[in-house]
Copies of this chain bind each other. A is one copy, B any other.
Amino acid sequence: MLKVTLKKIAATLGVSTATVSKALKDYPDISEKTKKKVKSLAASLNYKPNSFAQSLRNQESKIIGLIIPTIVHHFFSNIIYGVIDSASEHGYLVITLQSNESYEDEKNKINLLIEKNVDGILLSLSDKTVNYKHINRLIDDGVPVVLYDKISRSVNCSKVIINDFAAAFNATQYLIDTGCKKIAHIRGPLKPQTTIDRFMGYKKALEVNNILFDDSLVYVSDSLSFENGYNIAPKIINDHTDVDAIFSFTDLVATGVLIRFKELGILVPEQISIIGFSNWFLSKITSPTLSTVDQPGYEMGRKAFTLLYNELNQIRNGEPIKHEIVEIATKVIPRNSTKPI
């Protein structure tokens, strides 16, 4: 493909590159006649501005970076989808990278993105990240960052979150409303704020309903996996013969519990109710179907990009940057792994 440049157009038309550039951009100081001439030639030659040259001049790439802990994951897929969709609408493209829930990877991937001069970064903290220097440095350097889902209160930037505390409270309250009295909780990795908040919400619901919190009813799943649920299930019923409900921090683990219970001949929800979290697609498929809390990934992705976009515009206009924290609504989705109210 012999490339069409401003220079070439200018040459064939016998005008300057400056004129061509301005004509193409509808500058008011170019005559209509020239504009028409330039535009029609550009169109017929299928002229495409060289994005490197533009970026070099304008100091912006119109590309943003998206760091995802795990790509193959129903919730995060929806995030990716939402981000890409929203970005496209505003003329931005998205480079996606995976942190593998690793602090080192997270740092490295951020660097790759910075080296490519992305205009901003969307980031969900890895489960292992406890130190936020790498992110604060970014922000200090003027790179807009928006944290989504797994965030840290101690980073000062825009964020898109759900109210994990309230969502977990509601899920637990729902179990109580269906008559459950001894509710176990499978919590996630200890560090992320999301799993801490879900745990706190669970605890609060017990308290409000005058149910004594029992530490031994809390089980930790160090990762998001089906197997973890599968393995924790028998422990729960061995430790507590009278457990009548389980609130799991995520659907995948809840599904593992469900399947194991079926193998063990434990009836769900007759003997034990189960409620998950996230409303993964698979929660509609299990048998019984899994009650859960809807966590709208697509919408979170869209919103995360929007916040970044706003900051990008503020920067472009020389306005002060306003960080915004947006909370996306969640709701309990009753299905058949819990009893009717």
Residues from chain B with Cβ under 8 Å of A255 in the complex: 285
Contact assessment for A96 and B97 in the assembled complex, using a CB-CB cutoff below 8 Å: no
**A72 beta carbon closer than 8 Å to chain B:** yes
Q: Which residue of B lies closest to A59 (CB)?
A: B52
**A16 beta carbon closer than 8 Å to chain B:** no
Residues from chain B with Cβ under 8 Å of A141 in the complex: 1
Q: How far is the CA of A228 from the CA of B137 in the complex (A)?
A: 50
Contact assessment for B93 and A116 in the assembled complex, using a CB-CB cutoff below 8 Å: yes
Residues from chain B with Cβ under 8 Å of A314 in the complex: none
State which of A78-86, A194-202, A216-224, A242-250 sits at the interface with chain B. Answer: A78-86
**A286 beta carbon closer than 8 Å to chain B:** yes
Residue count of chain A within 8 Å CB distance of chain B:
50
Residues from chain B with Cβ under 8 Å of A73 in the complex: 77
Q: How far is the CA of A112 from the CA of B1 in the complex (A)?
A: 17
Contact assessment for B286 and A95 in the assembled complex, using a CB-CB cutoff below 8 Å: no
**A74 beta carbon closer than 8 Å to chain B:** yes
**A129 beta carbon closer than 8 Å to chain B:** no
Residues from chain B with Cβ under 8 Å of A208 in the complex: none
Q: How far is the CA of A129 from the CA of B94 in the complex (A)?
A: 24
Contact assessment for B78 and A72 in the assembled complex, using a CB-CB cutoff below 8 Å: yes
Contact assessment for B63 and A116 in the assembled complex, using a CB-CB cutoff below 8 Å: yes
Q: A72-B77, A93-B116, A282-B285 are in contact. List 18 more A-B contacts (CB 8 A).
A: A1-B140, A50-B56, A50-B117, A52-B61, A56-B56, A63-B63, A63-B116, A72-B78, A72-B81, A84-B98, A93-B97, A93-B113, A94-B96, A95-B95, A226-B284, A262-B287, A281-B282, A287-B287
